[in-house]
Each structure stands twice: as C-alpha cells, then as structure tokens.
C-alpha cells in the first residue's frame, strides 16, 4: 500500500518532468522522496545503480530520466541516444525488480508509435509499422522500456506501468532556440522580438500541421494518479485529446507575450507530420484527465520564463 511515508525515488528529479513530479508529490504530502543528480549517481553505471538500490532501498521508482534532444542531436548521436537510454532504464527497471520494488512508473514519449499510424494514436498501434526516422533511436530505447515493464508485469505480477505523454511544455522547460521544442521556442522568439521594437518573427513551415500540447504539471498529476491507483493495463497515453494548428499556437503565444509585429512563415522549411494527436480514452476510463487549459499553461510558462531570464542568453535579431 502506498502512503505518505512510502520511500519514492524519482529518477531525473532535476529535469522539467522530474521536478514537476517532485513538486506535485510534495504538495500532496509525500515526505520520503529521494533524488540524485547525475553527478551523484550516473544511471548508466550498473554498479553505481546497484549500490544505490542496496543502500537506499526505495519502495517505488518513477523513471523520468533520459537522454533527450531534438532532431539534430538524434541524427548526430544515434548510438548515444539508443545505448544511453537503454542503459539508464535497464538499470532502473532491473534493479527495481531485483530489489522487490512493487511499483514502477516508466515515462516515455508519443514517438514510440509508428510514423504513419492512424490518428488519434492508440496504445495498440505500438509496433505495427516503422518509426519516424529522425528519432527512431530514442523511440526504440523507450519501446524496450515499455516492453520490459510489460514483461515484469506479466511474469511477476508487479505493478509496473508505462505512461506515454504527448508534447510537453511548462516551467523549467528548455528555451534554447537551437535545441528547444516548438512551444518554448516560440515563447522565446516572440519575447525577443517584442524587446527588439516588435521585430518580425520568422517561423518554420506553413503553420498548418496540428499538434497536441500537455502542461507538465498535468503529467505530474497523471503520475500521482498512477502512483495512488493500480491501473489495469500496462501502457497509457497521457495527453489532452485536443490539438490545434501551429498557426493558432503562434497566434496565442504572440497575444500572451504581447508581441505586435509580423509573423513570417518560411514555407521552404519542412512542416513535419501533418497531425500528431493522442487517443486518451484508456486513461480517461481509468479515472484521469488533463485539466490545464493551453492558454493558461502558456501564461504560467511565460511568467516563469520572465522570472528566470538570467539563465538565457539574449538573442540578437
């Protein structure tokens, strides 16, 4: 039974996702949370992870640790994205199992699903077709993690569950224009353009692709729900079940930031997949759904960005 003094290890507790989970569990009254920085514990190191489990003896493990990056990083370092993610999650899953950890929550990404899977994406589409080539190395590692948790669940009847979130954004996000995802990148671009006399903002593509976005605190809430409930299946999509065009996203961010200049769409740049939406019927049936409106989440994220501008180098437009 999970209670407020259950010893819970959150792997990756300093990242955007891990820190949101940490805040959520603290707010809910959990008093026995464990976290280690990558300097304190290299999760790729099998011996180090083994020693950690022997010493700390966590009762629950939440895996929010991974090597992540954009298309360029995935393309340039395929071996590292495959191998390091396999090492991290295999060490955590295996030593959790060997240490009799009864509840393990594995976090992945919607990129585990085939590139041309029908929309919205359902859990049963996993492994039915080929992956998106630009991030297949990361996706293959995450699929292996999902299957490892499923195998332990089936063979040993332990409560190991995998949650696959859609595109995430929120506080503690990455706002580096070279490596960030579309929503934080837009916040940064519109903010810098506003500061530069409302200069025009150039965005990639046509603006027509549709995307779904989930506020990271909602994912943390879903993790808390999975922690406190024994879910009947091994794999759940976590999202809003709603999408919008990139053009509509840009207009919303422009309004929230207060940028008054022009938006220029560079149609010579690729649009990517026309639509990427998660089917969230299974997690809704289990009893959870997202509750943060996109504009509300963008407001919160932009305010956090403003309060933490010293972390980011100014962009010269």
Is 181 annotated to bind ligand? yes
Q: Which residues of 217-252 are buried (b: 16+ CB within 10 A; e: fewer)?
A: bbbbbbbbbbbeeebeebbbbbbbbbbeebbebbeb
For the question of residue 138 being annotated catalytic, the response is yes
Is 165 annotated to bind ligand? yes
Is 177 annotated to bind ligand? no
Is 44 annotated to bind ligand? no
For the CA atoms of 39, 41, 43, 44, the dihedral, rounded to the nearest 10 degrees, stands at 60
Do residues 217 and 25 touch, judged by C-beta distance below 8 A? no
Is 211 annotated to bind ligand? yes
Distance CA 39, CA 26 (A): 23
Is 70 annotated to bind ligand? no
Tokens encoding 26: 């603290």
Query: Where are the alpha helices (H) located in the chain, listed in sequence order?
Result: 16-27, 46-56, 71-76, 78-98, 136-156, 182-195, 216-228, 246-257, 281-286, 294-307
3 state DSSP class of 160:
strand
Is 103 annotated to bind ligand? no
User: Which residue(s) pair with 61 in the sheet?
Assistant: 9, 104
Is 116 annotated to bind ligand? no
9, 138, 236, 302: the catalytic one is 138
Distance of CA 146 to the CA centre of its chain: 15
Is 180 annotated to bind ligand? no
Is 17 annotated to bind ligand? yes
In angstroms, the Cα distances linking 289 to 98, 118, 146, 219, 272 are: 33, 22, 21, 10, 28
In angstroms, the Cα distances linking 205 to 220, 228, 265 are: 32, 42, 6
Strands 244-245 and 210-211: antiparallel
Is 69 annotated to bind ligand? no
Distance CA 242, CA 204 (A): 22
Is 108 annotated to bind ligand? yes
Is 217 annotated to bind ligand? no
User: Which residue(s) pair with 245 in the sheet?
Assistant: 210
Is 147 annotated to bind ligand? no
Is 204 annotated to bind ligand? yes
Is 83 annotated to bind ligand? no
**CA neighbor of 243 nearest in space, from 137, 167, 162, 165:** 167
Is 19 annotated to bind ligand? no
Is 216 annotated to bind ligand? no
Which residues are the active-site residues?
Answer: 138
Annotated binding site for substrate: 189, 204, 211, 271
Annotated binding site: 12-18, 107-110, 142, 165-168, 181, 189, 204, 211, 271
């Amino acid at each position: 039974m999970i209670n407020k003094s259950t010893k819970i290890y959150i792997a990756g507790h300093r990242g955007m996702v891990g820190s949101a989970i940490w805040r959520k569990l603290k707010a809910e009254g959990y008093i026995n949370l464990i976290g280690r920085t990558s300097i304190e514990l290299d999760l790729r190191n099998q011996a180090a992870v083994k020693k950690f489990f022997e010493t700390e003896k966590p009762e629950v493990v939440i895996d929010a640790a991974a090597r992540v990056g954009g298309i360029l990083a995935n393309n340039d370092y395929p071996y590292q994205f495959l191998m390091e993610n396999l090492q991290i999650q295999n060490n955590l899953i295996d030593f959790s199992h060997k240490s009799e950890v009864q509840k393990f929550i594995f976090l992945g990404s919607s990129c585990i699903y085939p590139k041309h899977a029908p929309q919205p994406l359902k859990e049963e589409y996993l492994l039915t077709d080929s992956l998106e080539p630009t991030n297949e190395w990361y996706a293959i590692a995450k699929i292996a993690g999902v299957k490892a948790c499923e195998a332990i669940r089936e063979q040993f009847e332990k409560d190991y569950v995998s949650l696959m979130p859609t595109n995430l954004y929120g506080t503690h996000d990455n706002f580096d224009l070279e490596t960030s995802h579309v929503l934080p990148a837009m916040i940064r671009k519109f903010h810098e353009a506003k500061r530069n006399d409302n200069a025009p903002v150039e965005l990639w593509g046509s603006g027509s692709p549709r995307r779904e976005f989930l506020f990271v605190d909602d994912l943390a809430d879903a993790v808390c729900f999975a922690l406190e409930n024994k879910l009947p299946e091994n794999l759940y999509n976590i999202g809003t079940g709603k999408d919008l065009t990139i053009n509509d996203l840009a207009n919303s961010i422009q309004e929230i930031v207060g940028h008054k200049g022009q938006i220029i769409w560079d149609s010579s740049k690729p649009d990517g997949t026309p639509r990427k939406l998660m089917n969230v019927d299974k997690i809704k049936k289990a009893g959870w759904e997202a509750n943060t409106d996109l504009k509300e989440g963008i407001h919160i994220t932009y305010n956090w960005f403003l309060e933490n501008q010293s972390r980011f180098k100014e962009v010269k437009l």
